[in-house]
Amino acid sequence: MRMKKSLFTKIAIIVLSFILAAAFVGCGKVDTMKRVSKNKVVIMGTNAEFPPFEYRNDKGEVDGFDAAMAKEIAKELGVELKIEDMAFDSLLNALASGKIDFVAAGMSVTEERLENADFSEAYYTASQKIIVKKDNDTIKGKADLEGKKIGVQEGTTGDLEASKINNVQVSRFKKGIDAVMDLKNGKIDAVVIDASPAEVFVSKNDDLKILEEDLTEEEYAIAVRKGDKELLDVINKVIKNLKDSGKYDELVTQYIGQ
Ligand code: GLN
């Protein structure tokens, strides 16, 4: 009798632990749409150091092409938009943990990122560019970057691309503009960064130039938590509506200017 009882107790403990473990796992899962409609707010995560897609305007608010798109998403959801500004390389963790609901940060779709998030339809085609000092006539393209000191924004596709080059020393910055400052000060030889912010930074610094060559071709898209299909459908609908209505082209003219 005693033996039987303790066996029963053991089984009961095992079963209970499974139930408890399942309950804890369940707690980690965020029901995004439920939370959005309950709190009447959707939270965009970004890194407001990436003009013209996201930057702080004169009022100190996060502005830019992505912020404008995010406003349309909030409007479609019928809720308020809240923006969390953080380091670019912490965005996908913040998304997975439920701190934010989607990422709009000029984020390029990559194989690795697709393992940790779902992405919307692409909304912009971009490329990586090289910035050097205007008087630099030795670095004419990617082939000349071997053995050089290159500045990048940490965790970006520019970081990935620069790190592939032979014998390079890659300096990783939290903000692209800090890499540009080190280039001006002669601490590094080149900066590898997305074309659009490169244009903005170089237009404000007449001692710098952008090289012709495109190092990559990438697509910007909005990231949501894996499996957040309902939110993703809304986001894709907004992107489609913006394109169909001509509003997308207006935003490109307003923010990117081409
Ligand atoms: N497009 C680049 C990437 O996805 C850089 C984005 C950014 O710095 N905001 O890595």
Rg for the chain (alpha carbons), in Å?
23
**Residues composing the chain:** 258
Q: Is the CB of 157 under 6 A from ligand 1?
A: yes
Q: Is the CB of 64 under 6 A from ligand 1?
A: no
Query: Helix, strand, or coil here: 9?
Result: helix
pLDDT of amino acid 5: 65
pLDDT of amino acid 12: 77
The residue whose CB lies within 8 Å of the most ligand 1 atoms, and thus the one to mutate among 156, 159, 161, 199, is 156
Closest ligand 1 atom, CA of 105? 9
- State which fold the 32-123+221-256 domain adopts: D-Maltodextrin-Binding Protein; domain 2 (3.40.190)
Neighbours of 150 (CB within 10 A): 25
Query: Helix, strand, or coil here: 204?
Result: coil
Q: E-assigned strands of the chain?
A: 41-46, 55-56, 62-63, 80-85, 102-103, 118-119, 124-126, 128-133, 149-153, 169-173, 190-194, 208-210, 218-220, 223-224
Token pair, residue 38, equals 């309950």
Nearest CA to 107 out of 97, 117, 99, 98 is that of 117
86-137 pLDDT, tens digit each: 999 999 999 999 999 999 999 999 999 999 999 999 999 999 999 999 999 9
DSSP for 118-166 reads EE-S--EEE-EEEEEETT--S--SGGGGTT-EEEEETTSHHHHHHHTST
Cα gap 46→66, rounded to integer Å: 9
Question: Please, are residues 58 and 8 in contact by the beta-carbon 8 Å criterion?
Answer: no
Same fold, 32-123+221-256 and 126-218: yes
Question: Please, are residues 96 and 87 in contact by the beta-carbon 8 Å criterion?
Answer: no
pLDDT of amino acid 16: 75
Residue spans per domain, the chain: 32-123+221-256, 126-218
- Peptide bond just before 197 cis, omega within 30 deg: no
Q: Is the CB of 106 under 6 A from ligand 1?
A: yes
Q: Is the CB of 55 under 6 A from ligand 1?
A: no
pLDDT of amino acid 48: 98
- State which fold the 126-218 domain adopts: D-Maltodextrin-Binding Protein; domain 2 (3.40.190)
Token pair, residue 43, equals 């939270």
Cα gap 147→145, rounded to integer Å: 6
CA of 156 to the centre of ligand 1 (A): 5
pLDDT of amino acid 258: 63
Low-confidence ranges of the chain (pLDDT < 70): 1-5, 19-28, 258
* Helices then strands, each counted (H, E), the chain: 10, 14
Nearest CA to 222 out of 37, 62, 97, 45 is that of 45
**33: phi > 0 → left, psi -120 to 50 → alpha, else beta; which?**
alpha
